[in-house]
Amino acid sequence: MDYETAVAQFLEYLELEQNRSSKTIQNYSHYLTRLSDFAGDIKLSEINDELVRKWRMWLNRLPTSNNEELSKMTQNYHLIALRSFLRFCAKRNWETMQPDKIELARTKRPQVTFLTPEELERLAAQPDTTKLNGMRDRAIIELLFSSGLRVSELVGLDRDHINTKRREFMVRGKGQKDRPIFISAEAADWIDKYLAMRQDNTKPLFIRYSGSKKVDNSGNFTRLTARSIQRMVARYALLAGITKHVSPHTLRHSFATDLLMNGADLRSVQAMLGHSNIATTQIYTHVTDPHLKAVHEKFHRKK
């Protein structure tokens, strides 16, 4: 069987049988197309150790739009996609390379950037809450830190998803997996204030108030995009005098770090973040090491 036909069947399998999101399927398609970009029209039987080795060299030297090399993490995403594809082929007894022969490149543990309590206060104080868009922005900042939501999850929220009385709701995250989200009383209060100021009946929780695309063809306000929230958070961080790079994901990091620093166990934090693998959550453990050292020095009986 030729490679492109097999890839097309694999992408259909992801959509129909695995119920993967359109974004995930798009990413897999992109990564797997990169192999045919390199190797041309190939048969499954032509995928072997030598071809993959040469492809990895090609990826390692492939320039990005910024004329930089692909990061090791991005290169690994290509290999993970190929490995998943080869597993799919193996289940169908198609002759090709064994997936377990593909090893990922070693990568540095990602650096976790998080905000101190004082920085969080300064950031949250920046929106002008006398205005509707400022009230919306304050509610977004409070919700991101209180819940640990991914920005992609936050922009998908509708009004009827949120229960500010119970302060918990369900969200569908990566891999189409549902998980419970819990929010603080303060975050719930800011959401209530924001909704009380709104005079529209638009379904999305967070909507646009400016720009040419603020309303759709039906005259309803449109949903905020992840990119617009990223720009908003970065702008307020600059106004707050925070020199580190701040994004919605920084608030997610801050949420996880705050939980661990205050005694939460790693498994609970994993569940609240929606990580399928505990190893992903373990990037936060080195952040809490200084805290553990302080606990040791304070409570360990000296001899």
User: Which positions are annotated as active-site residues?
Assistant: 150, 174, 249, 252, 275, 284
Tokens of 250: 């920084």
Q: What does each C-alpha distance from 202 to 195, 205, 219, 253 come to in angstroms?
A: 11, 8, 10, 31
Structure tokens at 283: 């990037």
At 245, the amino acid letter reads H
Read off the tokens for 12: 């259909």
Give the C-alpha separation, 27 to 22, whole Å: 9
Rg (alpha carbons) of the chain, rounded to whole number: 23
d(CA 277, CA 164): 30
At residue 232, what are phi and psi to the nearest 5 degrees? -65, -50
CB 157 within 8 A of CB 206: yes
